[in-house]
Amino acid sequence: MDFIKGITFAPFARRDTLTRKDTLESLDNLCSRTNADFIILVPNGLQDTPQSENIDFTSEATMSDEELISFIGYAHEKGLRVALKPTVNCRNGTWRAHINFFDEDVPCEPKWCNWFASYTDFQCHFAALAEKTGCEMFIAGCEMVQSERREEEWRRLISDIRGVYSGTVSYNTDKYQEHNVKWWDAVDVISSSGYYPINDWENQLDRIEKVVKKFNKPFFFAECGCMSTEKSNLVPNDWSVRGEVDLQGQADWYTEMFRACSKRGWVEGFCIWDWCGKQYPIAKAQCHGGYDIYGKPAEKVVAGFYGSKQ
């Protein structure tokens, strides 16, 4: 696998977002400022609650097929590799990791079999689109922690995806969960969300390395990032952290991640979270405490590291 110098672009973009002029200009900025050669696009699926069985991916909350096809073509023209990662969320705000059902079917209760049928429709719809547009990778969802124990269903899903998509298949598990997925042999590439504390990278890489060696698969961080907010680099997965803007703390986190991972030859890339379709004015970057790196010191850290990888 070629090293992935990636950024997640405009995740969960709503209908008509990808056709806007400012969205295309944002992708142009990504190309000119970061040395990235890979983007992940994240079509949004919605279910009402963690116990709902049906996933909707045709509402105004999800990019249309037509605009996604056009945007993938534009990204390819810019020389970027593209991955699709269809991801389900709950309308009531519950994190997708908590989607869960009884392990044994109970009459009149929601069931895994119904949910996986809907999830398979969701994934295979976009897998077929990934095949049509020549996407270089398909990632079969993100951080579905409670569902990952359903090994038989996940293996069947990956097989169904391969029935419509001939490229590289991965799955993005959550931080601290890499060793809990038992079906990594079913995918081509192991990937996870690398939101690890700035002072804990070595410990976590030691743990992940055992998984990578066990399954003998390529590995990359399909998500990784840290807010430019005070103390975020100690809990980079917690988007609710509030405090003073800390641009240097974010830059330090990226520096340490790249330093620690560069010593591990099996880490074959990163996909930064995230790069917005509608960007704030660059003059206001110094006042922005979110995950974005645009115009911040962290952007220079990312661009320098990606530029060094040939």
Q: What is the pLDDT of residue 310?
A: 76
Domains of the chain: 4-225+265-280+297-303 (3.20.20.80)
pLDDT tens digit string along 28-69? Answer: 999 999 999 999 999 999 999 999 999 999 999 999 999 999
pLDDT tens digit string along 136-152? Answer: 999 999 999 999 999 99
Q: What is the pTM of this model?
A: 0.98
DSSP for the chain reads ---EEEEEESTTPPTTSTTSHHHHHHHHHHHHHH---EEEE--EEEESSTT----B-SSTTS--HHHHHHHHHHHHHTT-EEEE--EEEETT---GGG----SS--TTS--HHHHHHHHHHHHHHHHHHHHHHT-SEEEEEE--GGGTT-HHHHHHHHHHHHTT--SEEEEEEPTT-GGG-S-GGGSSEEEEE----TT-HHHHHHHHHHHHHHHT--EEEEEE---SBTTGGGSTT-TT--SSB-HHHHHHHHHHHHHHHHT-TTEEEEEEEEE-SSPPPGGGGGG--SS--TTSHHHHHHHHHHHH--
Average of pLDDT values for 206-216?
Answer: 98
pLDDT tens digit string along 155-206? Answer: 999 999 999 999 999 999 999 999 999 999 999 999 999 999 999 999 999 9
Q: What is the pLDDT of residue 82?
A: 98
